[in-house]
Chains A and B, each alone.
Chain A
């Protein structure tokens, strides 16, 4: 086991990914810098301020999609028939591969994106002060909303990681479709449970309770549900990703 996990190899593997995907990631970050700046400027045109809540809204819109795109990009070699042989033959164990991919697309990416966002935000506010006389109110980026956005990304990212490993073509589309089907499945499951446990109330016998059932099925998570989605779901999917990688043949 000791030989199957070597931190030095993980660092080499992350460095390898960064070198290979330098071009893709630079382009991605440039697009995001422009988008963050433009959205911030547009926001300041209306109310002459850029509140941290507003900025974090823009942050979330860019941070999550770009992170998911990066997740797919780090598995490009893994799923392509012309690159998978050399990739899988590299002396790196599955736990090392998984840790390096996860770490670079979550922790490293979040740090890099947050730094870029702060710089762009400060620059946008400075330009806003000069052009529109905006009040300087850009503060507390690491608020509760920031951590909610980061937390959401950390929970949904492993789903896309499994999608990137599982599908060889149209990965993004197939992953989103699978999530849609999965969500529908959970929704129907919750609905059936709600109906079963509230049969005595005459659910569906009149319009009011029927709509309550639908509302509850889509929004009400029990304590177990919250624990499952918030803490267990991500690691569970990382375990799925691990076994998908173990089973991978060329």
Chain B
């Protein structure tokens, strides 16, 4: 569906932000795009949305370059940016002036999600907090029913109850055939939501695996000495650790531990998964 091949990108007069990035995003998946601050997550998301142009390589949606920004391509991509400003209009007017550009937009879904987020269509956007504005945009983005939904730090600005509300909405509202990319540096916020992990470090994709494969090959928890070889551990004695699973029981993937582990032991963890 969305193909990124050998992609390089740098901002003018600066070093490479992305280098030789290869990705293949498929429908029916929710991808978690992780990385430290300034590692190029937002840049990659913007390239996928056609808002930045690769210096070399390609970014295609269904064999059309996203940088061409053709209406046919843009009708299949919706981006929830990290920072944005919405016009000072009632939510319902905002919906009316923008929804007509998306052929699969569902009014019913949009107003249902607003209700779930405890927002009223007559609320004027300028009177809402940043978190509430983000909820309006998330609801709008989901209701567009585009094939690709890109979210850049969607949980930034949301309070704790809103974060779980976000997870609930995403899990229930998102169509199975959609491809969703959620970029964040707050790994815990995406717990139980994503089914594929992509990690960026030093301008490169250093980890790209489905959650299913990760849990099949790695074990997460507090390890004891007799359990086998520890790939990564956060503390010397009984700290949270990542082990090769072998005969151990399957555990839930600890995203934060996995993220820290991949940054420290990239090669070993990738090898353990490939085995």
Residue among A4, A19, A20, A250 making CB contact with B52, cutoff 8 Å: A250
CB within 8 Å for A90 and B85 given contacts A3-B70, A250-B46, A250-B51: no
A9 contact set on B, CB distance < 8 A: 71, 101
Residue among A85, A88, A93 making CB contact with B71, cutoff 8 Å: A93
Q: Closest residue to B137 on the A side, CB-wise?
A: A86
Q: Closest residue to A20 on the B side, CB-wise?
A: B87
Tally of A-B Cβ pairs under 8 angstroms: 74
CB within 8 Å for A16 and B98 given contacts A4-B71, A85-B81, A91-B74: yes
A80 contact set on B, CB distance < 8 A: 85
A81 contact set on B, CB distance < 8 A: 83
B102 contact set on A, CB distance < 8 A: 91
Q: How distant is B50 from chain A, measured CB to nearest CB, in Å?
A: 7
B98 and A89 form a contact (CB under 8 A): no
The contact string, 1 if C-beta is below 8 Å from chain B, for chain A 67-90, is 000000000000011111110111
B101 and A249 form a contact (CB under 8 A): no
> Which of A6, A15, A84, A90 has the most chain B CB atoms closer than 10 A to its own CB?
A90
Residue among B46, B89, B101 making CB contact with A19, cutoff 8 Å: B89
A90 contact set on B, CB distance < 8 A: 74, 98, 101
A89 contact set on B, CB distance < 8 A: 49-51, 74, 77-79
A12 and B71 form a contact (CB under 8 A): no
**A172: interface (CB < 8 Å):** no
- Inter-chain CA distance A13–B100, complex, in Å, is 9
A94 contact set on B, CB distance < 8 A: 69
- Inter-chain CA distance A94–B50, complex, in Å, is 13
A4 contact set on B, CB distance < 8 A: 70-71
CB within 8 Å for A6 and B71 given contacts A80-B85, A85-B84: yes
A6 contact set on B, CB distance < 8 A: 71
- Inter-chain CA distance A82–B83, complex, in Å, is 6
- Inter-chain CA distance A94–B81, complex, in Å, is 21
Q: Closest residue to A3 on the B side, CB-wise?
A: B72
Q: How distant is A12 from chain B, measured CB to nearest CB, in Å?
A: 5
Q: Closest residue to A96 on the B side, CB-wise?
A: B71
- The binding surface of chain B is classed by DSSP as loop
**B156: interface (CB < 8 Å):** no
- Inter-chain CA distance A80–B81, complex, in Å, is 14
Residue among B70, B84, B97 making CB contact with A15, cutoff 8 Å: B97
**A116: interface (CB < 8 Å):** no
- Inter-chain CA distance A89–B150, complex, in Å, is 11
**A45: interface (CB < 8 Å):** no
- Inter-chain CA distance A91–B81, complex, in Å, is 16
**B107: interface (CB < 8 Å):** no
Within 8 A of A (CB), among B64-107: 69-75, 77-79, 81, 83-87, 89, 93, 96-98, 100-102
Within 8 A of B (CB), among A195-250: 249-250
- Inter-chain CA distance A86–B84, complex, in Å, is 8
Within 8 A of B (CB), among A52-72: none
B52 and A249 form a contact (CB under 8 A): yes
Q: How distant is A2 from chain B, measured CB to nearest CB, in Å?
A: 11
Q: How distant is A92 from chain B, measured CB to nearest CB, in Å?
A: 6
CB within 8 Å for A12 and B69 given contacts A89-B51, A249-B53: no
What are 12 A-B contacts defined by CB distance under 8 Å? A9-B101, A12-B97, A19-B97, A84-B51, A85-B79, A85-B81, A85-B84, A88-B51, A90-B74, A91-B73, A91-B74, A250-B52
Q: A interface vs B, CB < 8 Å? A: 3-4, 6, 9, 12, 15-16, 19-20, 80-86, 88-94, 96, 249-250
